[in-house]
């Protein structure tokens, strides 16, 4: 697959950036399984998301199980995604590892097969400081300058708070164009200190609030929900886009409480910190219950979670699927 001629820029970051799990075959939860990935399901899901209208696809992060895939599995999954996309939307793959050199090796492979960029978190063995974190992204960008970078800013996963000085410095790296972001309370601050050189991707449910802050710049979000059926994700994107143009926010305001209710059972008591202990298990339970994508079992060692947490996640998945059904029926 030939890669695009020009590296993506911040102006290319708009709309719904879907994040997909790495589907597993039935024996994917067994350590003896050498290749656990359901590649047919990857191809089907990528094609389905693109046909539904998503603007980009990211993969191999936390609930994408990047930490529990072998390099052989990651490589083949990258290749299937790129081949299936065939240049229709940007494909960002995960190359987060324990060190800079391995990340660069993996990213060079992604470049060579035609991927557009990476959703990249920090190495997480030590708790890293701001100068080291900035240097990490500088080194990766220097080594593989053709690839765009979406910083994966998950403070629980990477033991790093992603403070304002970090954003002010990584904004000077041309390859850093976007960020998978969860802290909407600091979105305005971080956008300002980065001088709008990075288009932050808030969580899907926060997209309308972000767009209300700055309708012209906050034009994109990351979506873990598209894989539970993409119809509502696309409708949400288009409704917010229309509201930003007209100033009439009645439709997003009508949708928000229904979406929030469907998501409410996903997060256990303790909020995001507790959820992060079981992120993979809960997200896969949600996606499997919704039925649009077959995520399959979790890979070892991250396979167990409290049963009532899993029940809440499954309820969230069926709740989202029900909203999609109502939307298609014209009753939402």
List, for residues 310-326, the tens digit of each pLDDT value. Answer: 999 999 999 999 999 99
Q: What is the DSSP letter of 31?
A: T
The predicted pLDDT at position 273 comes to 87
Q: DSSP 3-state assignment of 294?
A: coil
Q: Specify the pTM.
A: 0.96
Query: What pLDDT, in 10s, does the model give residues 259-310?
Result: 999 999 999 998 888 999 999 999 999 999 999 999 999 999 999 999 999 9
CA atoms lying within 13 Å on the CB side of residue 47: 9
φ, ψ (nearest 5 deg) of residue 118: -135, 140
**Cα dihedral sign for 273, 181, 7, 93?**
positive
- The mean pLDDT of 216-245, rounded to a whole number, is 97
The predicted pLDDT at position 6 comes to 87
- The mean pLDDT of 245-264, rounded to a whole number, is 97
Q: Domains, the chain, ranges and CATH?
A: 10-246 (3.20.20.70)
Looking at the chain, the whole-number percentage of residues with pLDDT higher than 70 is: 98
Q: 20 exposed, middle or buried (CB, 10 Å; 0-12, 13-18, 19+)?
A: buried
User: Does the pLDDT at position 47 exceed 90?
Assistant: yes
The predicted pLDDT at position 5 comes to 65
User: Does the pLDDT at position 59 exceed 60?
Assistant: yes
Whether the Cβ atoms of residue 149 and residue 118 lie closer than 8 Å to each other: yes
- The mean pLDDT of 31-51, rounded to a whole number, is 98
Tally of residues, the chain: 332
Of the candidates 237, 254, 174, the one whose C-alpha atom is nearest the C-alpha of residue 201 is 237
Annotated active-site positions, please?
152, 180
User: Does the pLDDT at position 65 exceed 90?
Assistant: yes
Query: If residue 251 lies in a helix (H) or strand (E), which one and from where to where?
Result: helix 250-263
The predicted pLDDT at position 231 comes to 96
72-88: b (≥16 Cβ within 10 Å) or e: ebbbbbbbbbbebbeee
Query: What pLDDT, in 10s, does the model give residues 146-195?
Result: 999 999 999 999 999 999 999 999 999 999 999 999 989 999 999 999 99
Segment among 74-78, 202-206, 272-276 with least mean pLDDT: 272-276
Whether the Cβ atoms of residue 303 and residue 245 lie closer than 8 Å to each other: no
The predicted pLDDT at position 3 comes to 55
- The mean pLDDT of 29-39, rounded to a whole number, is 97
């Amino acid at each position: 697959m030939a890669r695009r001629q020009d590296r993506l820029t911040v102006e290319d970051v708009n709309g719904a950036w879907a994040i997909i799990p790495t589907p597993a075959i039935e024996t994917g939860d067994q350590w003896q399984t050498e290749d656990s990935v359901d590649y047919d399901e990857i191809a089907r899901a990528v094609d389905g998301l693109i046909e539904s209208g998503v603007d980009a696809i990211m993969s191999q992060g936390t609930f994408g199980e990047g930490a529990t895939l072998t390099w052989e599995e990651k490589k083949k999954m990258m290749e299937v995604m790129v081949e299936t996309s065939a240049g229709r939307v940007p494909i960002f793959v995960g190359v987060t590892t324990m060190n800079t050199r391995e990340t660069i090796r993996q990213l060079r492979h992604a470049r060579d097969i035609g991927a557009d960029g990476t959703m990249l978190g920090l190495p997480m063995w030590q708790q890293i400081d701001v100068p080291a974190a900035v240097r990490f992204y500088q080194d990766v960008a220097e080594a593989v300058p053709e690839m765009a970078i979406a910083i994966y800013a998950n403070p629980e996963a990477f033991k790093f708070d992603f403070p304002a000085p970090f954003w002010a410095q990584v904004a000077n790296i041309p390859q850093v164009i976007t960020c998978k972001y969860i802290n909407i309370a600091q979105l305005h601050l971080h956008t300002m200190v980065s001088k709008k050189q990075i288009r932050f991707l808030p969580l899907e449910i926060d997209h309308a609030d972000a767009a209300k802050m700055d309708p012209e710049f906050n034009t994109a979000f990351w979506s873990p929900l598209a894989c539970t059926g993409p119809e509502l994700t696309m409708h949400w994107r288009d409704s917010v886009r229309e509201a930003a143009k007209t100033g009439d926010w009645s439709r997003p305001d009508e949708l928000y409480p229904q979406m929030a209710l469907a998501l409410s059972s996903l997060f256990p008591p303790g909020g995001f910190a507790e959820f992060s202990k079981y992120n993979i298990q809960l997200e896969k339970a949600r996606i499997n219950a919704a039925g649009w994508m077959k995520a399959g079992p979790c890979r070892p060692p991250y396979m167990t979670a409290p049963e009532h947490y899993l029940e809440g996640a499954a309820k969230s998945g069926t709740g989202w699927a029900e909203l999609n059904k109502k939307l298609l029926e014209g009753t939402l």
